[in-house]
Amino acid sequence: MNRRSFLLTSAAALALPRVVLANGETHRLRDFYAPGGGLSDLARALEGKPVTVAGFMAPPLKADSQFFVLTKQPMAVCPFCETEADWPDNIMAVYTQRKFRVIAFNRKIETSGTLSLGAYRDPDTGFLSMVRIEDARFRRA
């Protein structure tokens, strides 16, 4: 591998959202979803375990919330509020330990917490999630 190939590969890897497990193993966000829908075997194996996920904070559905959506790519508008916006295919709900300050939509963040699976409808927003991080903390990446 030459220097140019190494740099291009490294830059591409940094741009992908990923999940970092406690043992250092890295996965892409889409690894939690099975082809054709549903949850993957990997997601089921990680349920209830601590994970760290990198991505972008979608504009919150509600001010002063303890919940946001982590997306694969930056989204300038709420993907759930605008009918013209494309629904993201790699998302994860994030429930924080307390109210939080919104991070700019184009700033990458890392979110850590406990992976939770199964249908859950947020009582304040009505948002339905299948994959979540609970008791989460986040920081700029």
> How high is the pLDDT of residue 66?
85
Domain that holds residue 112: 3-140
- Please tell me the predicted confidence (pLDDT) of residue 136: 92
Q: How many domains would you assign to the chain?
A: 1
CATH number (domain holding residue 45): 2.40.50.140
CA distance 91 to 33: 10
Q: What is the pLDDT along the chain (141 residues), one digit of tens a residue?
A: 555 444 444 444 444 445 444 455 556 687 788 887 778 898 999 999 988 888 899 887 777 778 898 888 887 766 555 444 444 557 889 999 888 888 888 999 888 899 999 888 888 888 888 889 999 999 887
pLDDT of residue 8: 40
Tell me if 33 sits within 8 A of 40, measured CB to CB: yes
Instruction: Identify whether the C-beta of residue 136 lies closer than 8 Å to the C-beta of residue 66.
Output: no
- Residue 81 has what pLDDT? 56
Q: Which residues pair with 51 in a beta bridge?
A: 21, 113
CB 129 within 8 A of CB 95: no
Q: Please, are residues 40 and 31 in contact by the beta-carbon 8 Å criterion?
A: yes
> Residue 1 has what pLDDT?
54
